[in-house]
């Protein structure tokens, strides 16, 4: 089985997770609780995550907003009515145009159901979503964290989370992926909550700089 969290128990889980790790407790003591980052389990949210791949969050949001100016609330059917040049005018790259089209087609055909994913465990969700072009482990991790609120996910492909973990735990810059995962394992079964604390300290320290 998998465990989920919501706004009602988020602070309680932050306390519980930090109480088991002095470095996370130090983040909580200095900065307080991270925001309850959350997105609805919708086509729009999944498109947003795809747009965030390998670009700045601001750039991804600008693309999403341009799409919404064009078609209103994004749905699979409305997106598929757009031509490639129209999507390019909304700042979509050629690659991401292919990705979101495949996602829209999969949802319309019924081969993918977002509501069905809510009932599945992490492994099954990962296997299902990775059949969609352009969806890899990082996208699945962000989906599990932001949209389904599964409690035990560490996004190893997320540079902010990895760099924050290295800094907090005093790991060398060249620490291997396996060693980073091993360091994150100590936060089980609340690796997601730990990740949110790590993201928060990363963002707060960047602000101060």
Shared domain check, 141 and 53: yes
With beta carbons less than 8 A apart as the criterion, state whether 46 and 103 touch.
yes
Residue 68 domain-assigned (yes or no): yes
Shared domain check, 72 and 49: yes
Residue 2 domain-assigned (yes or no): no
Q: What are phi and psi of 4, to 5 degrees?
A: -120, 165
Domain count, the chain: 2
Shared domain check, 109 and 200: no
Shared domain check, 109 and 173: no
Q: Identify the CATH number of the domain in which residue 81 sits.
A: 1.10.340.30
Residue 21 domain-assigned (yes or no): yes
Q: Identify the CATH number of the domain in which residue 191 sits.
A: 1.10.1670.40
Shared domain check, 188 and 171: yes
Pick the closest to residue 137 from 104, 181, 107 (CA basis): 181
Domain boundary among 147, 169, 187: 147
**In terms of residue numbers, what domain contains 185?**
10-36+153-208
Domain boundary among 147, 167, 196: 147
Per-residue pLDDT of the chain (209 residues; tens, 9 = 90+): 789 999 999 999 999 999 999 999 999 999 999 999 999 999 999 999 999 999 999 999 999 999 999 999 999 999 999 999 999 999 999 999 999 999 999 999 999 999 999 999 999 999 999 999 999 999 999 999 999 999 999 999 999 999 999 999 999 999 999 999 999 999 999 999 999 999 999 999 888 86
Pick the closest to residue 49 from 121, 183, 128, 141 (CA basis): 141
């Amino acid at each position: 089985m998998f465990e989920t969290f919501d706004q009602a128990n988020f602070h309680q889980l932050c306390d519980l997770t930090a109480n088991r790790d002095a470095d996370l407790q130090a983040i909580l003591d200095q900065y307080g609780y991270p925001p309850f980052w959350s997105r609805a389990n919708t086509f729009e949210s999944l498109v947003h995550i795809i747009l965030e791949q390998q670009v700045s969050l601001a750039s991804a949001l600008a693309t999403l907003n341009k799409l919404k100016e064009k078609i209103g609330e994004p749905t699979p059917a409305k997106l598929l009515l757009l031509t490639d040049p129209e999507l390019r005018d909304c700042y979509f790259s050629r690659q991401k145009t292919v990705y979101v089209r495949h996602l829209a087609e999969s949802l319309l055909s019924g081969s993918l159901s977002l509501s069905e994913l809510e009932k599945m465990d992490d492994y099954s969700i990962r296997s299902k979503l990775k059949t969609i072009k352009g969806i890899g482990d990082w996208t699945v991790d962000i989906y599990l964290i932001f949209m389904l609120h599964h409690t035990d996910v560490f996004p190893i492909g997320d540079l902010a989370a990895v760099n924050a973990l290295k800094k907090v735990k005093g790991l060398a810059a060249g620490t291997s992926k396996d060693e980073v995962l091993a360091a994150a394992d100590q936060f089980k079964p609340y690796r997601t909550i730990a990740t949110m604390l790590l993201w928060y300290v990363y963002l707060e320290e960047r602000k101060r700089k």
